[in-house]
Amino acid sequence: MKYNNLGNSGILVSELSFGSWVTFGNTTDSTLAFDLMKKAYEGGINMFDNAEGYTAGSSETVMGDAVQQGIEEGVWERSDLVLTTKIFFGIKAGPNARGCSRKHIVEGTQAALKRMKLDYFDLVFCHRPDPRTPIEETVRAMNHIIDKGWAFYWGTSEWDATQITKACEVADRLGLIRPVMDQVQYNMFHRDKVERDYQPLYNDYGYGLTIWSPLASGILTGKYSGNNVPEGSRLAQEEYKWLKDSKFVKQADQITRTDNLKPIAEEIGCSLAQLAIAWCVANPKVSTTILGATSVKQLDQNLAALDYVEKLTPDVMTRIEEIIKSKPAVDEIYVQTTGLRSGPNY
Amino acid sequence: MKYNNLGNSGILVSELSFGSWVTFGNTTDSTLAFDLMKKAYEGGINMFDNAEGYTAGSSETVMGDAVQQGIEEGVWERSDLVLTTKIFFGIKAGPNARGCSRKHIVEGTQAALKRMKLDYFDLVFCHRPDPRTPIEETVRAMNHIIDKGWAFYWGTSEWDATQITKACEVADRLGLIRPVMDQVQYNMFHRDKVERDYQPLYNDYGYGLTIWSPLASGILTGKYSGNNVPEGSRLAQEEYKWLKDSKFVKQADQITRTDNLKPIAEEIGCSLAQLAIAWCVANPKVSTTILGATSVKQLDQNLAALDYVEKLTPDVMTRIEEIIKSKPAVDEIYVQTTGLRSGPNY
Amino acid sequence: MKYNNLGNSGILVSELSFGSWVTFGNTTDSTLAFDLMKKAYEGGINMFDNAEGYTAGSSETVMGDAVQQGIEEGVWERSDLVLTTKIFFGIKAGPNARGCSRKHIVEGTQAALKRMKLDYFDLVFCHRPDPRTPIEETVRAMNHIIDKGWAFYWGTSEWDATQITKACEVADRLGLIRPVMDQVQYNMFHRDKVERDYQPLYNDYGYGLTIWSPLASGILTGKYSGNNVPEGSRLAQEEYKWLKDSKFVKQADQITRTDNLKPIAEEIGCSLAQLAIAWCVANPKVSTTILGATSVKQLDQNLAALDYVEKLTPDVMTRIEEIIKSKPAVDEIYVQTTGLRSGPNY
Amino acid sequence: MKYNNLGNSGILVSELSFGSWVTFGNTTDSTLAFDLMKKAYEGGINMFDNAEGYTAGSSETVMGDAVQQGIEEGVWERSDLVLTTKIFFGIKAGPNARGCSRKHIVEGTQAALKRMKLDYFDLVFCHRPDPRTPIEETVRAMNHIIDKGWAFYWGTSEWDATQITKACEVADRLGLIRPVMDQVQYNMFHRDKVERDYQPLYNDYGYGLTIWSPLASGILTGKYSGNNVPEGSRLAQEEYKWLKDSKFVKQADQITRTDNLKPIAEEIGCSLAQLAIAWCVANPKVSTTILGATSVKQLDQNLAALDYVEKLTPDVMTRIEEIIKSKPAVDEIYVQTTGLRSGPNY
């Protein structure tokens, strides 16, 4: 396991990390939660990701219990862990119960600390952009969180490049701490933000990435091969019906393209899931790839994906591109305007 | 003719303006150039748009001559006019002959002033983003242009929202003058930047728009009806072969949709071109719509488009939307996150 | 009930809110106070307004008890509420017992938190301008309050436009948090500040308004019809003799004009009080209209005013203007200078 | 003649100054203009006031000729004089021909310098607020004027306190030069701005005043005694019909009150006009009182007003107040809130 700087910050995160999304407080009980986290930690993972919005706070409660158990059992100390939460979705209805206002950020973070029985998080993310709150208010509120000692670093999640640019520049103008990372969806079928939109963020701010859904909600595991949703998989659950109905999942050719990756996976000796995870890890802009897991065995298999990163040679990567056909087009206007053309028109 | 503030600035620009693109220094000789500008001015137009890149500087030479002729003949004074240029494309090859470096901005602006025989422009645009120049350098260089007295205001052209946000915020941090407007393509078939990407720019900076190609390179005039390129039209010229070959023009259904607009144009008593121009003018974010023209008659017809703006009632606008089917989709992530949903998941 | 952003901030306030002025700690006992607040909350109100100066702090004590009772009974959580106080008038005599000095703002806010048994307010207002304290001192002190975690946002109350402009600009210069709202008197007979003086504040700062006295101290309920002060009404109380003696109340034609509104109220099916409240709510600059109440029934009736906002069509509004004759005159100097006049003199 | 600092600046202006308004380029020919200015200069006046808007630029041309004549004849050197202009009204129609945009300020100042045959002004005023131009743009443009060497100081004219506050604060934020003075109407019947609205400007910025219309367009000379407009007076001219028709002039009781001042004027041995001028000079906030004149004799008489300033003892001033009844009311809210009252309510 390698440890990467989280963007332009001094904290080091393991290249794979462990997330509670979908599972904790839901299908995963406390015993399993601890077993999974212990397994992850022993495998070299130091970052454990959470959000107030996961199962309405239960996920944090479960993870908080597991963290305490690990401390009590001498598995880890608090300082060994990089613990995160993400504020935005709240845990109930109400006009100020969600969003990136100063009110919700402060109240939400305090409530999350209580649920997780912590004095502080390592990272707190603004889980979504909030078009109803001025970005300056959010920048100030996140700095307040840090000043209070409730977090060491702050970041964004699924903000667009313009919003992140604004947040960084506002912070610079006010002499405040910039956000240092986004938590963004990234996988073989979802690449535009990371590979196209965020380009200026890497150059200008050294922005870091903690990426989620490396398996594209399971599609890249190959389990939907032939378009049949297996009994018990996430897409079969009523609660995730929206995922199944979404345009995203419906694009059946993603499943076909996944099937077409099989020869490459076989060639380098890994599963499709391992190939998909290794492919994310191989992107040097990705600080950490967040894994979910519902069993220790599954986690073990996913951790083993690291063994295959070095097998993604330029040649293999080119063949993958030809199969997944998802490389974002570079904005034409750039091609037109940055080269030296013979005529002056556009 | 109404006069609008150019974004968050005190200068007033006519809602229609006159551009030299494609025509001046090319198919339009000096006599016609002056006749066109005089006609435009008498029709209430006060803004005349140019760029160093138009016909490699010849366009500026021709417009500069016409401006002088108007002064000498007492048609206008210099202060009556809002004269612009756009710096980026240069007039020749060479590594520093284009772009938004301090070197090219200063050298390019000085050369443009000389070609146009002016002491100063009213507006100078950075004609494209320059990914090879730090935006801070460009912001400083454009402020240098203004401090020298070579321009009153500066703007961007076809920059994306992230780049403009950065330019504005960098200016704020340094106490410099922000850009106040973009020159952006906008018409019934090209709406994403103006109607979607730039939304935060209107709220945060009062960004102004001078829009080009209201007729979609002629498609919206209806002259390509049936997909045949008429002899002598711009698309038939060898120099504009790239336009013809581009995906943009190839989308034959734009021509079909244009044909479908005919009943609406007939109903309100205008031509298709007038409908397309009036539709641009009706957008309150648009400070000025730039018209090109190759004859006084054509200019006259386009100026008359203003008579039909008030006929674009909400009902007519709705019917137009149903025909052109080009309204930008609002980013799904926003829809998901700003409403109050019962569950906390995303 | 709609929830509006409080000016240029991310917090959302209900379009109607509940204020303790005149009533709490005075004619309203603790039981009634809780009943009123519960009724208000169930009706959708989330903002509850207070001030140190209301009944010398007793109002805050009573409201604080009610807030706790609601938490204990599971009616609301602290984060569901937007709780405010206003600092200026103090609760006793003494040279530093009032005003907007750093000393009184800090001491006053701490005392108010104690009386209300809170860790923090959502909003703290400077209840009046303090000409004896430099505005920069007040801006810094209010930022101190926020940095300490004692408030999320700060505002002004009955400050004039010059003072608010200064506060915002001083905050900008120092990189501090601007005030975001004023608490200002606004009703059919008191409109100058909101509709004339504050205009630049909306444009420049997106300033928000929490307005008080929507019923003009009761005049707009029609209860003074015929100029007789009913037994038991606020104007009949000795303590509010100054209200009765004031020029404001003495203008008997306000009472007459109120009587003249009756046909409109009847036409749209509401009471005079409901008409007056709906009229305030209909102004889009008003973030929230603060209601007082002495009985649950009265509160119920006032909440129902929301049903009539949509009935205030442009036509009805015009007829109301003709009756109340209170529209502020636009400053002549502006009319003189912004049009294009043929001569250059003033 | 005393010389006062012009507000918080180092330049010294004579307590009386000479303005060209109404007269130069109109009823006053070049010979008379020079004679008047020479008389004024010999009487100790060093400041000569002008505006682009006075008689469409002719006033500047006439004054410029007189300044040159004085230099050629050895009456004064350029550096002996404080020469001003005011930019806003322009000299012709056209959307950008007036206002406080960067374009008009630069073009207008350059044109004024040319008309007056000067390299620089001492003072340039923004002759009116321009609600269509952001104040920051105007602050920057006026600093540009100073940086170019076209003016030493800049100021405002008839701006309200909020606008001046904003201009000063924006200048502070950007490290630019503040405006230092307003040119504001001030006389016994027009006092609100100077004595009420501008109070914070004196305290906060040491704002200076160059005041115009000390004689209230002639009313305070007593020449309208009995309400008859004398043949040949300004109010009898067609061009100033708007003055006659204005509410201001119509208030006949101003004429009555002027008549009632006669006993005081007689008592201290001066004319009514001299009393009115001396009364303005006596206000220590007034840096200079601008006099117009149509004859050398009239100017002589007005200069002599200085002899009576010291006779305006507190007792005389009190009696004047009782007659003119124009002292601005102090905002009630201030009286209510800044004193120590026994109860906490308002």
Q: How far apart are CA C32 and CA C87, in angstroms?
A: 25
Residue A340 confidence (pLDDT): 36
Q: How far apart are CA A46 and CA A78, in angstroms?
A: 11
Does D190 contact C at CB distance below 8 Å?
no
Q: What is the pLDDT of residues C197-245, one digit of tens each?
A: 999 999 999 999 999 999 998 999 998 887 666 666 666 666 666 666 5
Cβ contacts (< 8 Å) between C82 and chain A: which residues? 96, 103
Contact (CB<8Å) C11/A94: no
With cut-offs at 50, 70 and 90, classify the pLDDT of residue D338: very low
Does B74 contact D at CB distance below 8 Å?
no
Contact (CB<8Å) A97/C80: yes
Contact (CB<8Å) C98/D340: yes
Does D170 contact C at CB distance below 8 Å?
yes
Does D93 contact C at CB distance below 8 Å?
yes
Residue A183 confidence (pLDDT): 98
Residue A250 confidence (pLDDT): 55
Tokens representing B76 are: 């206008």
Residue owning tokens 């500066």:
B154
With cut-offs at 50, 70 and 90, classify the pLDDT of residue C334: very low
Q: What mean pLDDT comes out for the span A302-314?
A: 97
Residue D42 has pLDDT above 60, yes or no: yes
Query: What distance in Å separates residue D162's CA from the closest CA in chain C?
Result: 4
Cβ contacts (< 8 Å) between D165 and chain C: which residues? 162, 165-166, 169
Residues 6+ apart with CB under 8 A from D220: D187, D188, D189, D214, D258, D272, D273, D275, D276
With cut-offs at 50, 70 and 90, classify the pLDDT of residue A106: very high
Return the residue in C91, C160, C162, C242 with the most chain D beta carbons within 10 A, the one to mutate for interface testing.
C162
Tokens representing B126 are: 């950075």
Cβ contacts (< 8 Å) between A134 and chain C: which residues? 8-10
Looking at the partner chain, which of C10, C46, C79 has a beta carbon nearest the beta carbon of A132? Answer: C10
Q: How far apart are CA A289 and CA A129, in angstroms?
A: 21
Residue C189 has pLDDT above 90, yes or no: yes
Contact (CB<8Å) D338/C52: no
Query: What distance in Å separates residue C118's CA from the closest CA in chain D?
Result: 22
Residue D335 has pLDDT above 60, yes or no: no
What subunits make at least 3 CB pairs under 8 angstroms with D? B, C
Residues 6+ apart with CB under 8 A from C217: C234, C235, C243, C248, C249
With cut-offs at 50, 70 and 90, classify the pLDDT of residue D27: confident
The CATH architecture that domain D3-221+274-312 belongs to is: Alpha-Beta Barrel (3.20)
Q: Which of B232-246, C319-333, D284-298 has the highest mean pLDDT?
A: D284-298
Residue B289 has pLDDT above 80, yes or no: yes
Cβ contacts (< 8 Å) between C152 and chain A: which residues? 101-103, 106
Contact (CB<8Å) A147/C147: yes
Percent of chain B whose pLDDT exceeds 70: 88
Q: What is the ipTM of this complex?
A: 0.90
Residue B157 has pLDDT above 60, yes or no: yes
Q: What is the pLDDT of residues B302-341, one digit of tens each?
A: 999 999 999 999 999 999 999 999 999 865 444 333 333 2
Q: What is the pLDDT of residues D92-126, one digit of tens each?
A: 999 999 999 999 999 999 999 999 999 999 999 99
Q: What is the pLDDT of residues C112-127, one digit of tens each?
A: 999 999 999 999 999 9
Positions of D marked catalytic: 54
Indicate the average pLDDT of chain B.
Answer: 90
Residue C252 confidence (pLDDT): 76
Residues 6+ apart with CB under 8 A from B43: B1, B16, B299, B300, B303
What subunits make at least 3 CB pairs under 8 angstroms with B? A, D
Q: How far apart are CA C97 and CA B329, in angstroms?
A: 57
A54 has catalytic annotation = yes
Residue B134 carries which DSSP code? -
Q: What mean pLDDT comes out for the span D290-316?
A: 96
Does D111 contact B at CB distance below 8 Å?
yes
Cβ contacts (< 8 Å) between C177 and chain A: which residues? 140
With cut-offs at 50, 70 and 90, classify the pLDDT of residue D25: confident
Q: What mean pLDDT comes out for the span C239-265?
A: 77
Q: How far apart are CA B44 and CA B303, in angstroms?
A: 9
Q: What mean pLDDT comes out for the span A219-229?
A: 80
Does B18 contact A at CB distance below 8 Å?
no
* Antiparallel, parallel or unpaired: β C208-212 and C181-185: parallel
Contact (CB<8Å) A130/B338: yes
Q: How far apart are CA D138 and CA A253, in angstroms?
A: 59
3-state secondary structure of B242: helix
Residue B334 confidence (pLDDT): 41
Interface A-C, measured as beta-carbon pairs within 8 A, has a size of 61
Residue B344 confidence (pLDDT): 27
Residue D289 has pLDDT above 70, yes or no: yes
Query: What distance in Å separates residue D311's CA from the closest CA in chain C?
Result: 33
Looking at the partner chain, which of A95, A102, A138 has a beta carbon nearest the beta carbon of C3? Answer: A95
Contact (CB<8Å) B340/A53: no
Classify residue C65 by burial, with Cβ atoms within 10 Å: 0-12, 13-18, 19+. Answer: middle
Tokens representing B318 are: 């709705």
Does D135 contact B at CB distance below 8 Å?
no
Residues 6+ apart with CB under 8 A from D63: D20, D24, D33, D37, D48, D50, D83, D116
Cβ contacts (< 8 Å) between D173 and chain C: which residues? 169, 172-173
Residue C346 confidence (pLDDT): 24
Contact (CB<8Å) B52/A165: no
Q: What mean pLDDT comes out for the span B32-54?
A: 96
Tokens representing B303 are: 């100026």
Looking at the partner chain, which of B91, B131, B200 has a beta carbon nearest the beta carbon of A162? Answer: B200
Q: How far apart are CA C151 and CA C236, in angstroms?
A: 37
Cβ contacts (< 8 Å) between B83 and chain D: which residues? none
Does B149 contact D at CB distance below 8 Å?
yes
Residue D277 confidence (pLDDT): 98
Q: What are phi and psi of B321, to 5 degrees?
A: -55, -40
Looking at the partner chain, which of C3, C9, C14 has a beta carbon nearest the beta carbon of A137? Answer: C9
> First CA to last CA across chain C, in angstroms?
49
Q: Name A211's bridge partners.
A: A184, A289
Residue A332 has pLDDT above 50, yes or no: no
D abuts A (3+ Cβ pairs < 8 Å): no
> Which of B41, B54, B153, B205 is an active site residue?
B54
Looking at chain B from residue 212 to 251, which residues have their Cβ under 8 Å from any Cβ of chain A?
239
Q: What mean pLDDT comes out for the span B169-191?
A: 97
Contact (CB<8Å) A106/C149: yes
Identity of the residue numbered D328: P
Q: D143, D113 in Cβ contact below 8 A?
A: no
Does D318 contact C at CB distance below 8 Å?
no
Q: What does the domain layout of chain C look like in residue ranges?
A: 3-221+274-312
Query: What distance in Å separates residue A107's CA from the closest CA in chain C?
Result: 7
Does A182 contact B at CB distance below 8 Å?
no
